[in-house]
């Protein structure tokens, strides 16, 4: 059975995952190994997505202190 034509993004993601598994010598022997790998990948992906969403909402990166449009109020 032939694989459907996939988008360039999906092909790039497949290659990134293949390289990650090779470079980190990850072997998937059972369902627990698979779940551990997927959990690690999902956490990295979600963190990146949430950071980007926050950057878009605020208009600056959380590390870009110069472009914040807030005032500093010292503690009383």
Furthest C-alpha separation in the chain: 71
What is this structure's pTM?
Answer: 0.55
The torsion of the CA quartet 13, 30, 38, 2, rounded to 10 degrees, works out to 30
| Helix residue spans in 1-76 (DSSP H) | 8-23, 31-58
pLDDT in tens, the chain (76 residues): 566 788 999 999 889 888 888 888 888 899 998 898 889 889 988 999 998 888 888 777 777 766 666 666 677 6
The torsion of the CA quartet 68, 73, 74, 76, rounded to 10 degrees, works out to -160
């Amino acid at each position: 059975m032939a694989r459907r034509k996939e988008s360039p993004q999906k092909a790039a993601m497949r290659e990134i995952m293949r390289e990650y598994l090779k470079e980190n010598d990850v072997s998937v022997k059972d369902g627990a190994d698979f779940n551990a790998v997927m959990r690690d990948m999902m956490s990295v992906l979600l963190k990146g997505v949430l950071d980007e969403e926050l950057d878009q909402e605020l208009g600056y990166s959380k590390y870009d202190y110069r472009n914040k449009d807030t005032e500093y109020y010292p503690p009383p």
